[in-house]
């Protein structure tokens, strides 16, 4: 394929963003010149487009969990002064010290001056009695009196069953009726298919918002676009976590940075990533775990008088994404021409997971996600039919790449039993 055609095909990825945005019902914005842009939650408050995620605060000691109160106080004071008054914590963040920090540092402000989100940790629940015990502990730690936003934390295939068995959603509705929480929703880490199931179950039962992982890299690879569209179609506002994909998109690679710098010399990769998320009309709040003051200040600037990406800027960002992916382990653009695989192998996801590992070095996350695919969808199901090779615009030898990745994870060659038998019969 000619280089020009390669880029034109790749630009289709974010080109679909315009159509997605046009079909969504936009959240009403509140704008004041030079101030933090806010979006109005239907039936709720006007929230800052930038929210403060309290999972990665500065620590007293590297490798520890205790938050440096002096540094954290400076950060939270600057945030509050500049209209960043949505704070997101959780029961296990910093080993519980995140909630305690909220109580130590935010309680000096009038309670009505900030919005606090906390979560019921589904993974910590063993019996119904745990619900009230944990919730009361959270109230005591944060000294908040009530939570503005309360979520079922980390809904996945396993934890969703736990939530249903223990009646977590019913308990959260009870808390809202009692005035102990104002708005209820959930955070999510799983497939669009499960998300659809959860939304169908809860959308007419008090669901007000949902929190998902979304960024321009995950838009295709991790099916964030599908998740966003499910929530938008259901009329559920979206709160975004991991807009920088754990910090990866704040740097990307040299080739990707050059594309962005040529288009906007004064812009940073992080600003491009945040503007991608904020340009989606059904995104209510974008969370950022801002450990350093310079990150907080830059993000405040990005979301004050917020400017959505133009059509030309969307193309620039997609070109940067193509350049970024070209330096990864497998030159896959996520076009999905190789799908569906007749044997069920999730080819783009496997390549996406592997490329992310190569970019971040986080092998544990890679292995966990790959093994989570199961034998029916991982590379061991490949029978070397090579139909995918015929469809791939990049001419990737997909079966060989799958075999290499599987061998890297398991130590075994990714050969389907039928293929092994065939090769054995040939004496190979």
Averaged pLDDT, 224-250: 94
Whole-number pLDDT of residue 229:
98
| Distance of alpha carbon 307 from alpha carbon 391, whole angstroms | 38
Residue 249 DSSP one-character state: G
Q: What is the pLDDT of residue 314?
A: 96
Integer Cα distance of 40 and 52 in angstroms: 17
388-426 pLDDT, tens per residue? 998 886 778 999 889 888 888 877 655 555 555 655 565
Contacts of 388 (CB under 8 A, 6+ apart): 338, 339, 341, 347, 398, 399
Instruction: Identify the residue with better confidence: 129 or 247.
Output: 129
pLDDT tier at 325, thresholds 50, 70, 90: confident
Res 395: pLDDT: 77
- The whole-chain average pLDDT of the chain stands at 89
Of 61-65, 84-88, 150-154, where does mean pLDDT reach its minimum?
61-65
**Could you tell me if residue 246 is left (phi over 0), alpha (psi between -120 and 50 degrees) or otherwise beta?**
left
Q: Which two tokens stand for residue 240?
A: 């975004």
Q: Which of 190, 274, 201 has its CA nearest to residue 227?
A: 190
CB 237 within 8 A of CB 212: no
**What size, in residues, is the chain?**
428
Residues 119-146 have pLDDT tens digits of 999 999 999 999 999 999 999 999 999 9
Check residue 25 and give its pLDDT: 61
Query: For residue range 287-306, what is the model confidence (pLDDT) as tens digits?
Result: 999 999 999 999 999 999 99
pLDDT average, residue stretch 183-189: 96
pTM given for the model: 0.78
Q: Label residue 428 exposed, middle or buried (CB < 10 Å: 0-12, 13-18, 19+).
A: exposed
Name residue 53's beta-bridge partners: 88
Residues 327-372 pLDDT 10s: 677 867 677 779 999 999 999 999 888 887 876 678 888 888 898 9
Grade residue 266 by pLDDT with cuts at 50, 70 and 90.
Answer: very high
Indicate if the pLDDT at residue 22 is higher than 90.
no
Please tell me whether the peptide bond between 241 and the residue prior to it is cis, using omega within 30 degrees of 0: no
Is the pLDDT at 14 greater than 60? The verdict is no
| N-terminal to C-terminal alpha carbon distance within the chain | 34
The pLDDT value given to residue 300: 98
In sequence order, what are the residues at sequence separation of 6 or more whose Cβ sits closer than 8 angstroms to the Cβ of residue 204?
none
CA distance 214 to 205: 25
**Residue with the two structure tokens 């040299």:** 254
């Amino acid at each position: 394929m000619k280089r020009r055609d390669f880029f034109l095909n790749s630009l289709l990825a974010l080109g679909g963003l315009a159509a997605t945005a046009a079909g969504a019902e936009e959240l009403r914005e509140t704008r004041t010149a030079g101030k933090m842009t806010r979006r109005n939650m239907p039936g709720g408050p006007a929230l800052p487009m930038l929210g403060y995620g309290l999972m990665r605060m500065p620590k007293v000691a590297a490798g520890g969990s205790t938050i440096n109160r002096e540094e954290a106080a400076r950060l939270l004071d600057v945030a509050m002064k500049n209209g960043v008054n949505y704070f997101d914590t959780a029961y296990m963040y910093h080993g519980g010290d995140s909630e305690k920090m909220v109580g130590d540092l935010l309680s000096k402000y009038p309670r009505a001056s900030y919005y606090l989100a906390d979560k019921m940790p589904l993974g910590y629940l063993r019996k119904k009695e745990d619900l009230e015990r944990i919730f009361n502990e959270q109230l005591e730690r944060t000294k908040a009196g009530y939570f503005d936003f309360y979520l079922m934390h980390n809904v996945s295939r396993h934890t969703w069953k736990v939530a249903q068995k223990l009646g977590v959603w019913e308990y959260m509705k009870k808390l809202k009726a009692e005035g102990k929480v104002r708005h209820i929703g959930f955070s999510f880490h799983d497939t669009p298919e499960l998300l659809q199931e959860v939304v169908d179950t809860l959308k007419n039962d008090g669901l007000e918002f949902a929190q998902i992982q979304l960024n321009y890299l995950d838009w295709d690879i991790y099916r964030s676009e599908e998740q966003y569209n499910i929530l938008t179609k259901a009329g559920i506002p979206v709160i975004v976590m991991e807009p920088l994909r754990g910090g990866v998109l704040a740097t990307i690679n040299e080739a990707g940075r050059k594309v962005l710098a040529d288009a906007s010399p004064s812009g940073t990769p992080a600003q491009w990533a945040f503007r991608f998320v904020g340009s989606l009309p059904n995104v209510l709040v974008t969370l950022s775990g801002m450990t350093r003051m310079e990150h907080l200040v830059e993000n405040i600037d990005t979301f004050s008088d917020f400017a959505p990406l133009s059509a030309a800027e969307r193309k620039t960002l997609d070109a940067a994404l193509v350049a970024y992916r070209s330096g990864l382990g497998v030159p896959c653009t996520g076009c999905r021409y190789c799908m569906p695989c007749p044997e069920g192998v999730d080819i783009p996801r496997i390549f996406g997971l592997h490329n992310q590992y190569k970019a971040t070095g986080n092998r544990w996350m890679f292995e966990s996600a790959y093994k989570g695919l199961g034998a029916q969808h991982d590379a061991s199901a490949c029978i070397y039919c090579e139909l995918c090779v015929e469809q791939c615009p990049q001419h990737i030898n997909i079966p060989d790449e799958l075999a290499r990745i599987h061998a890297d994870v398991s130590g075994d060659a990714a050969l389907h039993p039928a293929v092994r038998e065939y090769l054995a019969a040939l004496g190979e």
